[in-house]
Amino acid sequence: MSQVFDIDFESHRKPRIAGIDLGTTNSLVAFMDLTGPKVVPAPDGGNLVPSVVSYTAEGEFIVGSAAQRLLIDAPERTVYSVKRLMGRGIADVQEELSLFPFRIAPGSESVIRLELGERTLTPPEVSAHVLGELKRMAEAYIGEPVTQAVITVPAYFNDAQRQATKDAGRIAGLEVLRLVNEPTAAALAYGLDKREDAVVAVYDFGGGTFDISILRLHGGIFEVLATNGDTHLGGDDIDNRLLKIALEDVASEWGEDLSHNGEAVQTLRRAVIQAKEQLSFVPFTRIEFSYRGKTYRREITRELFRNLIHDIVERTLEPCRKCIADSGLTVEQIDEVVMVGGSTRIPMVRCAVESLFKAKPHTELNPDEVVALGAAVQAGILSGSVDDKLLLDVTPLSLGIETMGGVVSKLIHRNSTIPASAKEVFTTGVDGQTNVLIHVLQGERELVKDCRSLARFDLTGIDPMPAGAARVEVKFLIDANGILSVSARDLRTGKEHTVEVKPSYGLSEDQVEAMISESIAKAEQDFQERQVREARLEADTILTATEKARANDAWFDLSDEERQKISHSVNQLLLVYHSGDHNLIRSKIDELNEVTMKLAENMMNTAVRSALKGTHV
Amino acid sequence: MDYFSFFGLERKLTLDASRLQQRFYQLSKEYHPDRFAQKPAEERLKAEEASAILNDGYRVLRDPVQRAEYVLRQEGFDIGEQRSKDVPPELLEEVFELNMALEELRHGDEDARASLKEAHGKFVAMRAAADEELCALGRRYDETPGRDALQQIRALLNRRRYIRNLVAEVEKELA
């Protein structure tokens, strides 16, 4: 056999790593197969799972298109676009909250706590539900457990946002092998490395974030030269613009302010999104919204739409110009432009990109799927099944430490290839001082107050000495995921120092651990329920078969005692059928199997005899 | 770890950029953490460290100024920023004029913008001249290495840093 079928079965035994695009609006999961990356189909037939999570009054979580419907029916229990809240504190999202109908629980300074019905959830937990859904889909599709994943993030995500994404994966029971920047993933999916030496720009305008990356492709290496972006800019902003106008229209036409009515706002949001999407294909359309017997209609032309969103599109061009400057290249040296993200379907966006880069943008691949496909390619690189490609990505933001006078001293500059590291020697300022506090920040500005606080590290256990005598070398390392770690060494003794980390934003390790154990408990419960369901199915099969057998000749060949035993066993099984204990159900099934053994044999013999006689049973 | 030997290159101030890039790509394929994803944690950590050294080294070596500073530091020279505060004597006049123009602009005199632009052009040209000089001094050091050559390079780098700060200051003001 093996000479005939020369297939490497070994390669299929390796655990398969999922490639996941955890998007603001939609999420997808993809795998590498023998012919290339493939997106896993969603239950509704499409490929996209809406990144919407609803917590029902019955205490169950619903994810995806089913949850999307609940945005209208149960807006106070349903959350969307949670990616915009990842790794952020309440002070960061005031603008969002004026438009999103989310209720925020107290204590949301460093991690936002969303109130969904009776539950309070952090953004990583909400994202974990989306990831859990993708995990289930993926497992059903490939027929084996999925425990490892590559997850994409906007290139311009900071440390806290990346960490939050990684936490979400862990809570969902996924080992996140790598976070990949979305534009870079898209470049992988396009396979533009076929050209021997090329420079490519990736313009990624999604639901909630905007990224631009410029890469050099050379012999299978994808080297990111520079990246820029805005993690607060996306299709959501366009929707909100249209929504605001429509709400004002409705207020003046109906004399009724609906902006605080969750159900009405969500219905109207649907209507404006539909109009927006249609305008990518037709020159004019209509926003139509019916509510409590009243109807609002408004014609909208592409021209008007263009004027409405002009400044939003313009806001994407400034990061592009900065990125080109940072790459050290001119526009003329950029060979190709790749378009990613649903918002790049808007004709005006394509025009703006074309005129800035003086090149016709690539739109061959579905802009909704290309990032997930790239994530699958990266998963292939990590599993070893793709060995002719390698991504060299960069850190989008400079990393620095607070020095005297509230000034930030930069240690690792933006657009440095990662992993990247920097070392700095610290000493004490007062006699007998035994610890040094280091404040780490991310950002390009000079002053601490204008940068984003990342974490405070406390170097402890320094021997008491005169001021300035201690010498502790601190190593800052940004890993291939763009996440910082810090280690310290005493230069006099060579001893490793302990570093206590106090992240400024995000969950602590203990909190993540607690969430993981909760989700494991939940998974255990799910597993139990499935076992019970399966046991009942098995019981159904044997009960039906036994019932049927009562009409067979073989039944009458049994002794009264044997027939009684079977009836007794059937009753026993029926008694435990509705218990929640699958072991009990199984043991009764076994008993029934045992006592019907002879019956089954008899039936078999009858069947054989009939077959020999050439008649049917 | 010496960056030059890590890249398998001779320790020289004059470097062939395309050869450096080629080595960088080659070594990336060898050391990048992606290549070790299925390996034990210990090997993964080692790869991460090697990969960080590779990337840090590439950043330093591909830039002539950082490369020269790196060699100076290795040779025990102090290249602290504080020295850049002293105005190099040959720049005294230009700096004086520049400060006047900056002052005028801050007081709302828009005419000063033109003289600032002119000054900007002058400083950018000076920086380019310094870069060329750095190349020449580098070549000389590579032929006959010695502390004299390095001292000259250090003086040039201080001057260049001063000019660079001026350019940045003018650009900030003009923006």
Nearest by CB to residue A221, choosing from B28, B33, B59, is B28
Inter-chain CB proximity A420 and B52 less than 8 Å: yes
Residue A146, pLDDT score: 94
Inter-chain CB proximity A418 and B32 less than 8 Å: no
Of A7-11, A170-174, A476-480, B91-95, the one with minimum mean pLDDT is A7-11
Give the residue from chain B lying closest to A388, CA to CA.
B29
Of A133, A167, A182, A236, catalytic = A182
Give the residue from chain A lying closest to B38, CA to CA.
A383
Question: What phi, psi does A568 have (nearest 5°)?
Answer: -60, -45
Of A125, A193, A204, A369, catalytic = A204
Q: CA-CA distances (angstroms) from residue B107 to A354, B98, B104, B113?
A: 42, 14, 5, 12
Q: Which residue would you say has higher pLDDT here, A147 or B104? A: A147
Residues of chain A with Cβ-Cβ distance to B48 below 8 Å are: 419, 477, 479-480
pLDDT exceeding 70 applies to what percent of chain A? 96
- Which domains, ranges and CATH numbers included, belong to chain A? 15-234+309-392 (3.30.420.40), 235-308 (3.90.640.10), 399-507 (2.60.34.10), 511-613 (1.20.1270.10)
Residue A2 pLDDT level (bands cut at 50, 70, 90): very low
Give the whole-angstrom CA distance, residue B54 versus residue B155: 29
Residue A149, pLDDT score: 97
A83 is catalytic: yes
> Does A185 have pLDDT greater than 50?
yes
Residues of chain A with Cβ-Cβ distance to B29 below 8 Å are: 221, 390
Distance from CA of B124 to the nearest CA of A (A): 16
> Does A605 have pLDDT greater than 90?
no
A221 touches chain B (CB under 8 A): yes
Nearest by CB to residue B32, choosing from A378, A390, A477, is A390
Residue B151 contacts by C-beta under 8 Å, 6 or more apart in sequence?
none
> Does A5 have pLDDT greater than 60?
no
Q: Are A63 and A129 in contact (CB under 8 A)?
A: yes
Which ipTM value was assigned to this complex?
0.88
Residues of chain A with Cβ-Cβ distance to B59 below 8 Å are: 416-417, 420
**Among A515, A456, A461, which residue's Cα sits nearest to residue A484?**
A456
Residue A13, pLDDT score: 55
Distance from CA of B160 to the nearest CA of A (A): 20
Size of interface A-B (CB pairs under 8 A): 56
Residue A9 pLDDT level (bands cut at 50, 70, 90): very low
Query: Tens of pLDDT along A511-568?
Result: 888 888 887 777 777 777 778 888 888 898 899 889 888 888 888 888 999 999 999 9
Nearest by CB to residue A392, choosing from B28, B35, B49, is B28
> Does A7 have pLDDT greater than 50?
no
Nearest by CB to residue A418, choosing from B25, B37, B55, is B55
A431 is catalytic: no
Inter-chain CB proximity B34 and A390 less than 8 Å: yes
Burial class (CB in 10 A: 0-12, 13-18, 19+), A139: middle
Residues of chain A with Cβ-Cβ distance to B56 below 8 Å are: 420-422
Inter-chain CB proximity A390 and B28 less than 8 Å: yes
Q: Which two tokens stand for residue A311?
A: 């400044």
Query: Tens of pLDDT along B62-71?
Result: 999 999 999 9
Residue B86, pLDDT score: 66
Burial class (CB in 10 A: 0-12, 13-18, 19+), A335: middle
> Does B165 have pLDDT greater than 60?
yes
Residues of chain B with Cβ-Cβ distance to A15 below 8 Å are: none
Residue A463, pLDDT score: 87
Q: What is the mean pLDDT of residues A254-261?
A: 86
Q: Which residue would you say has higher pLDDT here, A33 or A203? A: A203
Give the whole-angstrom CA distance, residue A573 versus residue A356: 73
Of A83, A135, A166, A565, catalytic = A83
Helix (H, G, I), strand (E, B) or coil at A442: strand
Query: Tens of pLDDT along B7-24?
Result: 999 999 999 999 999 999
> Does B82 have pLDDT greater than 70?
no
Q: What is the mean pLDDT of residues A404-432?
A: 91
Residue A266, pLDDT score: 87
Give the whole-angstrom CA distance, residue A30 versus residue A380: 11
CA angle centred on A442, ends A438 and A445, rounded to 5°: 110
Per DSSP, which regions of A260-313 are E strands? 284-291, 294-301
Q: What is the mean pLDDT of residues A381-397?
A: 93
The B-side interface with A (CB below 8 A) comprises 25, 28-29, 32-35, 37-38, 48-49, 51-53, 55-56, 58-59
Residues of chain B with Cβ-Cβ distance to A219 below 8 Å are: 25
Select from B18, B30, B51 the residue whose CB has the most chain A CBs within 10 Å, as the one to mutate to test that interface: B51
Residue B83 pLDDT level (bands cut at 50, 70, 90): low
Query: Tens of pLDDT along A69-118?
Result: 888 888 889 999 999 999 999 888 887 777 677 888 888 888 999 998 88
Chain centre distance of CA A181: 13
Query: Tens of pLDDT along A36-69?
Result: 899 999 877 888 999 999 998 888 899 999 998 8
Nearest by CB to residue A416, choosing from B35, B49, B59, is B59
A423 is catalytic: no
Number of other CB atoms surrounding residue A252 within 10 Å: 9
Q: CA-CA distances (angstroms) from residue B157 to A73, A507, B124, B144, B153?
A: 68, 45, 15, 19, 6
Q: Which residue would you say has higher pLDDT here, A208 or A3? A: A208
Residue A468, pLDDT score: 87
Residue A422 contacts by C-beta under 8 Å, 6 or more apart in sequence?
A399, A411, A412, A475, A476, B56
CA angle centred on A117, ends A114 and A122, rounded to 5°: 20
Residue A578 pLDDT level (bands cut at 50, 70, 90): confident
pLDDT exceeding 70 applies to what percent of chain B? 96
A135 is catalytic: no
Q: Are A232 and A367 in contact (CB under 8 A)?
A: no
Select from B27, B39, B55 the residue whose CB has the most chain A CBs within 10 Å, as the one to mutate to test that interface: B55
Residues of chain B with Cβ-Cβ distance to A421 below 8 Å are: 52-53, 56
Give me chain A's average pLDDT, please.
88
> Does B106 have pLDDT greater than 70?
yes
**Among A360, A362, A365, which residue's Cα sits nearest to residue A376?**
A365
Beta bridge partners of A407: A403, A447
